[in-house]
Amino acid sequence: PLSNSLQHMDVTTTLHPYTDARVHEEKGPLVIERGEGIHVIDSTGKKYIEALSGLWSVAVGFSQTRLRDAAAAQMEKLPYYHTFAGKGHEPSIRLSEKLVEMTPENLTRVFFTSSGSEANDTVVKMVWYMNNALGRPEKKKFLARNKAYHGITVASGSLTGLPANHRDFDLPAIPVVHLTCPHFYRFGHDGETEAEFSARLVKEAEDTILREGPKTIAAFIGEPVMGAGGVMVPPAGYWEGIAALCKKYDILLVADEVINGFGRTGARWGCEKMGFTPDILVTSKQLTSSYMPLAAVLFSEAIYDAIADNSHKIGTFGHGYTATGHPVATAVGLENLAIIEEQGLIENAARMGEQLQAGLAKFADHPLVGEVRGTGLIAAIELVADKATKRPFDPLGKVGAKAFEIGHEEGMIIRNLGDSLALCPPLIATAADVDEIVRIMGVILDRTAEWLAGDGAD
Ligand code: PLP
């Protein structure tokens, strides 16, 4: 029986995302009550290292009072106003300016939304609007990748390349072609080098463009380093080849930096780390450390001009949200970016990232571990049934779910993406924090192996 009344209220009222509802009714929610640095504390007082930064998003930790103060000050001055029909307000204007300053030079324009999903829907509509304005309405299709995560709304969910996000919702609902996931460990052929793998995937993209017709392909969207699909860092040559194809066939290149942005990979932007320059960049999550919902689409002057020059012909850009550029969210974003700069958190992520990757690398020899991968402060450890053949567990995800549960018992929140265990700690993590995360990860692996040898064997 769920004696805690909050738990009772929850199971009798709420449908949770990505949660087995009937199991949840029995178990009840883990009610998180407070945040403290890289930790969160539940309603029983148990403290956890939040080693996934919530949902890959809390750069500055869970108790940054400067963000609270920035929100309160803006609430007092102007709690809400919109940005429709030429209206503006100081925090959204200043944040636009800041983002243009912080992103690659060719990205000169900003459009705000409240979530990464809405931002990617905005990208789709922006690209379609632009091509309609340029008199080429047939240029509509998107190229994306299997295992990509771009959100869950109808358009962004269509771009996402995870079967479970499509199957039960009749997606994709927009024209999109999904290409091979650039994960060498899983999709490299026997005897193939990483360079050959990259070249094969670039050729697949080009063959697809030619088959579909270059005039029908509007954009290629990708996370520079893939996140929710399992943390995959594409091998050298991949992004270089994709960027060259986009140029060759007049296809816009979209970097979905919703997880990568603001230092997560150890560089300011994932596209900088991977060595390519997008025409459109999407950011969210660490933009406000997720203290307020906010996302932004950064795009080039050429796209802006195509829209601006034609708005009197085909109608103004009829797209926007009640909360586009929300003053409290943008004020919090500005303060959050100031903290990231003042505290050198991108540089810290690069240093701590090296320590994390080196610490995790030693688990490569663990009998359960197929691959340890990542870059900067984002990583995953893939568990396999057979190390030599890379054979996954069947059913996929059961062992990962057990490891996730053991993590909670050991006081660390991770995420299991199938049987890949993801880590993505806040950018404020110290050397001692990283040591502790690696130590607990070792305990999780050992306890999962023990469980598999005993109760988990059947
Ligand atoms: N794009 C990427 C790369 C993401 O990881 C996510 C969320 O995890 C999204 C888009 C969607 O963002 P949101 O959950 O804010 O809609």
Q: Read off the pLDDT of residues 100-128 as tens digits, 9 standing for 90 and up.
A: 999 999 999 999 999 999 999 999 999 99
From ligand 1's centre to the CA of 166, what distance in Å?
A: 16
Q: Check pocket membership of 228 for ligand 1, CB cut-off 6 A.
A: yes
Q: Which of 18, 117, 120 to mutate to test the pocket of ligand 1 (most atoms within 8 A of CB)?
A: 117
Q: Is the pLDDT of residue 1 over 70?
A: no
* Statement: residue 45 has pLDDT above 80: yes
Is residue 258 in contact with ligand 1, taking CB distance under 6 Å?
Answer: yes
**pTM score of the predicted model:** 0.97
Percent of the chain with pLDDT over 90: 96
Task: Check pocket membership of 115 for ligand 1, CB cut-off 6 A.
Answer: yes
- Pairing between β-strand 176-179 and β-strand 141-145 as defined by DSSP bridges: parallel
pLDDT on residue 456: 79
Domain 31-60+344-457, CATH class in plain words: alpha beta
Ligand 1 centre distance from Cα of residue 77 (Å): 30
- Residue 265 Cβ < 6 Å to ligand 1: no
For ligand 1, pick from 256, 258, 274, 281 the residue to mutate: most ligand atoms within 8 Å of CB: 258
Please confirm whether the linkage preceding 104 is cis (ω < 30° from 0).
no
Write down the mean pLDDT value for the chain: 97
User: With bands split at pLDDT 50, 70 and 90, how would you rate the model's confidence at 315?
Assistant: confident
Helix (H, G, I), strand (E, B) or coil at 298: strand
CB of 306 within 6 A of ligand 1: the answer is no
259 lines ligand 1 (CB under 6 A): yes
- What's the rounded mean pLDDT across residues 210-237? 98
415 φ, ψ to 5°? Answer: -140, 135
Residues 6+ apart with CB under 8 A from 149: 160, 161, 162, 165, 223, 226, 227, 228, 229
Q: What span, in angstroms and rounded, lies between the C-alpha atoms of 398 and 341?
A: 41
Verify whether ligand 1 is closer than 6 Å to residue 256 (CB atom).
yes
Is residue 289 pLDDT above 90, yes or no?
Answer: yes
| Residue ranges covered by each domain of the chain | 31-60+344-457, 66-342
Percent of the chain with pLDDT over 70: 99
User: In the structure encoding, which two tokens stand for residue 65, read together?
Assistant: 């009072």
Q: Ligand 1 atom 3: the closest Cα is on which residue? A: 258
| Complex ipTM | 0.99
Residue 150 CB less than 6 A away from ligand 1? yes
**CATH code, 66-342:** 3.40.640.10
Element (H, E) at 252: strand 252-256
